[in-house]
Amino acid sequence: MKDSFNLKPFLVPLLLSLVLGTIFIRHQAKAKNEKNTQNQSDIYQKINLLTEVIKKVSDNYVEEVSDEELMMRAIKWMVHSLDPFSAYMSPRELKEMEVETRGQFGGLGIEITKKDYYILVIAPIEDTPAWRAGILPGDRIIKINGEPTGDMTLPEAVQKLRGPKGTRVVITIEREGWEEPKDFELIRDIIKVKSVRSKVIDGDVLYVRLSSFQENSSEELKNAFSKSGLYEGKIKGVIFDLRNNPGGLLSEALKIGDIFLSDGVIVSTKGRRSSQSYKAHKDSFDFPSGVSLVVLVNQGSASASEIVAGAIKDTRKGIIVGTRTFGKASVQTIIPLSDGGALRLTTAHYYTPSGTNIEEKGIEPDIAFKPTRVQPISELSPQELIQRRDNPELDEAVQFALKLIKPVPVQKAKEN
């Protein structure tokens, strides 16, 4: 006779457990719904408060101001208060940004950021009105055409600095070591950014200057390498100059990093919603092994420049020479909006291959080097400016890099 299993002793506890479990789940769901309802109620109260404030200001402010203008100001400050690099962009500002990344726009040729209560110069772009006037990395723009910049967002400052070719703008600069601010009167021009300049110096060393990361910068770099004979073994060393390079497109930084690295991680990003590692891939344009690489950096090297310099340093593909870089390690994503504008929102921070976050710290060079002869660009004549641009071998930092690639042999004393 088969043994039978009596379920009755377990039936009541089982049913009781199911009932209690159902009650608990429903209670949790109810509590969650009540919390969500309360959160929604709080949000609606804040929206009502915002509407009330706009109405009060519109009705009572000493000067007439429209509800639309007040609402736009509220939107701009809401986003800008998150960090210096996040901003709401109007349709016109979005179009200007898209034009800039193509390498041509109207303005002064100056890369800036917002820091504390002033506009900070990251770097002037070469061969532009700002560069020729002697604007330097670290300069603080405290006024634009007499208007204080303390309350300006970064896009607002950019908009005021740009304009049609031939128009005038006055910027007031504070500089370390100056007793008083100085006014610079500049004439706007069409800014055509030449992303890559290169020259073979000392017979078999390629000097490459990358001024910004814009569309096709990686292709320009490949072309410079190809024309020099780098891939045919004609070049012994490369000096890659990222000084005063304020950054640009992340996509181009990844492509250029992929040129110098044949494998491994170029950079990794970590955000609230996702994290990602970008890896190099082996191809015919990889930087040849056995060729020395020296990367020049300074305080004006920022963002995308730091991604590439950090990847080269951490993977020991080359030597970083100069001074500590700017220290911008955040990624901004362009999010389109229904009005034709967009949010430029910080969505992640990036980390070098070793996992280092360089935000506000910068990248420390492998070899520190600071030129002893510093002549302001504003003191140079147009002929001297052209000579400096076309003859990088005259630059003190380049000369130092040359010695690292081609050290002077030590002569032994002759025996008697």
Q: Which residues are catalytic?
A: 303, 314, 328
Contact 155, 89 (CB under 8 A): yes
Q: Which residues lie closer than 8 Å to 112 by C-beta, 6 or more apart?
A: 119, 120, 121, 122, 141, 154, 157, 158, 161
Alpha-carbon distance of 267 to 195, in angstroms, equals 22
Alpha-carbon distance of 165 to 188, in angstroms, equals 5
For residue 113, report the phi and psi dihedrals to the nearest 5 degrees.
Answer: -145, 165
Q: Which residues lie closer than 8 Å to 90 by C-beta, 6 or more apart?
A: 155, 339, 341
Alpha-carbon distance of 97 to 110, in angstroms, equals 14
The widest CA-to-CA distance across the chain, in whole angstroms, is 115
Alpha-carbon distance of 297 to 363, in angstroms, equals 9
SS3 374: coil
Hunting for tokens 């088969």 — which residue is that? 2
Alpha-carbon distance of 160 to 147, in angstroms, equals 10
